[in-house]
Amino acid sequence: MIRLLEQRADGICTYEMENDQLKVIVSSYGVTLMEIDMKAEDGTSENVILGYPTIEDYQKKSGTYFGALVGRTANRIANGQFKLNGKEYSLFVNNGPNALHGGKNGFSYCNFDSRIEGNSLIFTYHAKDMEEGYPGNLDLTCTLTLKGNELKIDYDALCDQDTLCALTHHTYFNPNLASDGSKLVLQIRADRHGLIDENVLATGQFREVDGTPLDFRKPKPIADSFDFEEIQIKNAKGIDHHFVLNGENPALVLTDPVSGRSVEIETTFPGAQVYTGNYLENEQGRDGIVYGENYGIAIEPQYVPDSIHNQEHPDAILKAGKPKHEEILYRFVQTK
């Protein structure tokens, strides 16, 4: 069942998606996942993502991107500049010397048109040519579908010019919000990860995870990776790295060993950025919880970061008139 909880004067709508296993609160502002409640057999439920109490909190643009769709391009673009078809483009620089997550007014801070269709919510947005510095009139549809213990996100994008389009959802998970996320157990089916510089910008180089703190091929507590003498962990103040997924599913699994609550993630994207909330500081969250460092784990399936500079054939290029489709699936499991 899907119902409209609120429609504000400014057009922002809040919806509730619910079945016998999950309840999801989502806003049309940034297609933001505000709350995901896992229901237990005894009738209780627990929220398993980070989020703010009010829409006004999201509108402060604090840079956490809790639960939001990010774009046109997720992650960082070096120096906020890129060249496409021989033309130079400049973006808003909002993360050190680089552009991050679509700019000052990226999709996370835009209100989408929305409607209910069956067991899905449909969100649409028209980004104008040169909005936030990106070429082309881009039409984006994001569809959320709730089925059993799964929440599926479909992205469909079409543009009238060649442009960059690299979307994701910046959802921070913590299946046990009674404590910070460093105690959670993470598995990533990836044999390689991307390297970052001191500004957490992807260098375009990759290394095997074997023998590094970032080897999560077998499940392990996240805190076990925090070797701050290791340059990659030091640069990010934790984990903020792209993992090249090897095609096995689920691609990533995050588990709370205390409660047994777990989220499994599958995706059509070739990789995923994992960020351990290294710069969260006294963020007032839902239910009176204050989020500090490492309180949530952002898992962001996406293309190679800064692919316009780091790939011969960049994943992020959306060709004029050619639709692009990607998917993310969250599966919520009680393991004990």
Closest CA to 193 of 203, 179, 182, 183: 203
Closest CA to 232 of 215, 220, 251, 217: 215
Where is 109: in which H helix or E strand?
none
- The residues assigned a catalytic role are 170, 300
Structure tokens that stand for 55 in this block? 């829409």
Residue type, 101: H
283 to each of 36, 54, 94, 180, how far by Cα in Å?
18, 13, 20, 13
Where is 59: in which H helix or E strand?
helix 55-59
Alpha carbon distance 78, 93 (integer Å) = 9
Q: Which residues sit opposite 153 in a β-bridge?
A: 144, 328
Structure tokens that stand for 25 in this block? 């609160």
Q: How many helices (H) and strands (E) does the chain have?
A: 3, 29
DSSP letter, residue 287: G
How far out from the chain centre does Cα 30 lie? 12
Beta-carbon contacts of residue 47 (< 8 Å; ≥ 6 apart):
35, 36, 37, 177, 286, 287
Contact 150, 138 (CB under 8 A): no
